A and B are shown apart, each in its own frame.
Chain A
Amino acid sequence: MSAEALPRVAEASERGGRDRAIDIGGLILTIITFAAALAAFFPIYWAIITSVKPDGEVISGSNSLWPGRFSFDSYIHIWNNTNIAIWYVNSMVTSLIITALVIVSSAGCAYALSQLDFPGRRVIYVLILACFMVPMQALIVNHFVLMAQFKLLNSWAGIILPQLIVPVVIIVYKQFFDSVPKEFREAAQMDSAGHFKILFRIYLPMNWGVTAALAIITFIGAWNAFLWPFLAATGEATMTVPVGITQVKDAYGIVYGKQMASAVAAGLPVAIVYLIFQRRVTQAIMLSAGVKG
């Protein structure tokens, strides 16, 4: 080995040492992340396991992590003895309608704010940003009185209308439209396209990923919504799944297995949506946090 090569070997060995140090750091981070994931997943696991244990095993107080015997009695029971099918339909219909209306109205609103020049544009945008900072809970009494006066309580419309206010979707869409070079709009204008056509034929299809991501988080939000549907739907016929499963406790006393089965059934569609569209959901969370995906 030449004398010249020696410093290079020493340098490489030093670099190798640093790589090892980074690996150890990475390993520690991996362990912490794994532990956090385990802690987050454990309640879900516990709910699933409890829901497939026989009632006797659940109330016996045995905290085994695996059922002695698998039983789907709890699921059969809630299917046969509650209105969960109707609650599913209500949840599905209201969530889909909320998602569709939020996406269409927010995209239109954001397009106007981003691309059109009209008086008061900035004021409207500031108002929307301000709405973003007002939680749903602060408006719940107003919504309730309004829906009651419109006689929309205990109806799909009553559940849907107050949930159409989702400023974050407008804000994310506006950021996306702002980032599209204006030449696309101008080219479409030269091509005789009106603003609706520009929005629905050019801007939205240009990146369906944004719409898909926003639709998924809107759907998940609407499906999981509890407080407003709980107030707006007092009759079992109009309840959504998250509201309906509270009835399981009332109807059968403290029956953990059945409660867990209904909770798992309530969360299942969201879990499936999440598992299928995992990347899109992550993108949506990043978009809504103002970080480009």
Chain B
Amino acid sequence: MADIVLNEVSKSYGAVSVLEKVSMHIKSGEFIVFLGPSGCGKSTLLRMIAGLEAVNEGEIHIGDRRVDQLPPNQRGVAMVFQNYALYPHMTVRANMSFGLQNIGTDKAEITRRVEDAARMLEIVPLLERRPAQLSGGQRQRVAIGRAIVREPEAFLLDEPLSNLDAGLRVRTRVELAQLHNRIKATMIFVTHDQTEAMTLASRIVVMNNRRIEQIGTPMEVYSRPASRFVAAFVGSPSMNFLAVTAIADKGGRAAVTAGGSVIDTGIAFGALPGPEGLTLGVRPDALRVAADGSGSLTGKIDIVERLGDRTLVHVRLGDGSLVVAEDAGNSLLEPGMDVSLRPDGAATHIFGADGRAYHAG
């Protein structure tokens, strides 16, 4: 397994730029997830690492080799495609052997590697079947098996779970995490599904609009988003944003007026820019319903979503803005009721006009 280093990598198609000076260092054995909305450049970046897209500027290193000018088969990486791209006329065994045959691997060695991978992925009974005779989950395993037998330095996975139904997706996600724990391989996984990113990643690379917004562990990205985009994109339901109309220094911490009320935050007043264009951000799990009516925000309930373990309450505040707050699973709240909300000051965020984030603590 090897480190992967991207150094100011850029990509454009004619005059259209799709990636601008992307740099990162992926450590050996890490499970990295490229997360971002459609069109942000995450798949292009993965394909550039794979060698399927040319690099216009910058360098890519895998291990101690510079690889950005090498063809895909010489980069020491294996890829699992979104649609698996299993050769439909070949058996599972032939699919897994094809790459090894092409590089002249000894027959006995091919058999050993294919059977080892098949045992690890529990697809031994499927070896003589063709892809059309497999379920979606089985095909996905075969695609991973085809990558494993090549013993690559890194695995590149391009939205490999997106073709699976919801239940299978969750199961396969767990299996993928188990596989990573077992083989300790460097894996780069592309997805636009933040749940996949949060559950699988050692570190998440959040991408937006041709560039990296933030690189961090799932909890860093969730708790301390680097920008308003990251705050909005990661987390479900999404973070609440309230326009800040005034800001005051309260013992070195910022007290902001937002949603028609004054909210004490844990954010250092001195670190903030001027009050213009500021936005307060608070996640639904940090905005609790105050049963005793002592919360700093008040409003009328619009919708109640009962999820079993918790209840999501959509509240229209006095200034007309809509926020989502959390209450207990057995909440008795109903639409139309007046409610009081208490934000957790330590878990609030303030975003500048440029989208930059300021956190408590």
Q: Which residues on B sit within 8 Å (CB–CB) of A184?
A: 85, 87
Q: Which of A189, A191, A205, A206 contacts B52 (CB 8 A)?
A: A189
Which chain A positions have C-beta within 8 A of B77? 190
> B53-84 vs A: 1/0 string, CB under 8 Å?
00000000000000000011100011101110
Task: Check A205/B89 contact, CB under 8 A, given A186-B72, A189-B73, A192-B73.
Answer: yes
| Nearest CB of B to A176, in Å | 14
Produce 1/0 per residue, B77-108, CB < 8 A to A: 11101110101110000000011001100000
Check if A197 is an interface residue, CB within 8 A of chain B: yes
Minimum CB–CB distance from A106 to chain B (whole Å) comes to 20
Given A181-B85, A186-B72, A187-B85, A192 and B102 touching (CB < 8 A)?
Answer: yes
Tell me whether B341 is interfacial, beta carbon within 8 Å.
no
* A202: interface (CB < 8 Å): yes
User: CA A183 – CA B103 in complex, angstroms?
Assistant: 20
The answer, yes or no, to whether A193 is at the interface (CB within 8 Å) is: yes
Report whether A183 and B81 are in contact in the complex, using a CB–CB cutoff of 8 Å: yes
Closest A residue to B82 by CB, please name it.
A183
Interface residues of A in 208-234 (CB under 8 A from B): none
Cross-chain contact A202 with B87 (CB below 8 angstroms): yes
The smallest C-beta distance from B336 to any residue of chain A, in angstroms, reads 40
Identify B72's interface contact among A189, A201, A206, CB under 8 A.
A189
Residues of A within 8 A of B197 (CB): none
Q: How far is the CB of B160 from chain A (nearest CB, A)?
A: 12
Chain A residue numbers with a CB within 8 Å of B85 are 181, 183-184, 186-187
Q: Which residues of chain A have C-beta atoms less than 8 A from B72's C-beta?
A: 186, 189-190
Contacts of B73 in A (CB 8 A): 189-192
Q: How distant is the Cα of A183 from the Cα of B85 in the complex, in angstroms? A: 6
Task: Say if the beta carbon of B50 comes within 8 Å of chain A.
Answer: yes
Known contacts A184-B85, A187-B85: A193-B50 contact under CB 8 Å = no
Q: Given A181, A183, A197, A206, which contacts B102 in the complex, CB threshold below 8 Å?
A: A197
- Separation in Å of the A116 CB from the closest CB of chain B? 14
Q: Quick one: which of B82, B83, B89, B102 contacts A191, CB cutoff 8 A?
A: B102
Bound complex: CA of A206 vs CA of B95, how far in Å?
A: 13
| Cα–Cα distance between A184 and B131 once the two chains are bound (Å) | 13
> Do residues A191 and B81 form an inter-chain contact, with CB atoms below 8 A?
no
What chain B residues lie within 8 Å of A181 (beta carbons)? 83, 85
B103: nearest residue on chain A (CB-CB)? A192
- The answer for the CA separation of A181 and B88 in the assembled complex, in Å, is 12
Can you list 27 contacts pairing A with B, beta carbon distance less than 8 Å?
A181-B83, A181-B85, A183-B83, A184-B87, A186-B52, A186-B72, A186-B81, A186-B85, A187-B81, A187-B146, A188-B98, A189-B52, A189-B73, A190-B50, A190-B73, A190-B77, A190-B99, A191-B73, A191-B98, A191-B99, A191-B102, A191-B150, A192-B73, A192-B102, A193-B98, A201-B98, A206-B89
Q: Which B residues fall within an 8 A CB radius of A?
A: 50, 52, 71-73, 77-79, 81-83, 85, 87-89, 98-99, 102-103, 146, 150
Complex A-B, nearest 7 residue pairs according to Cβ-Cβ distance, in ascending order: A191-B99, A183-B85, A187-B85, A192-B73, A192-B102, A183-B81, A205-B89
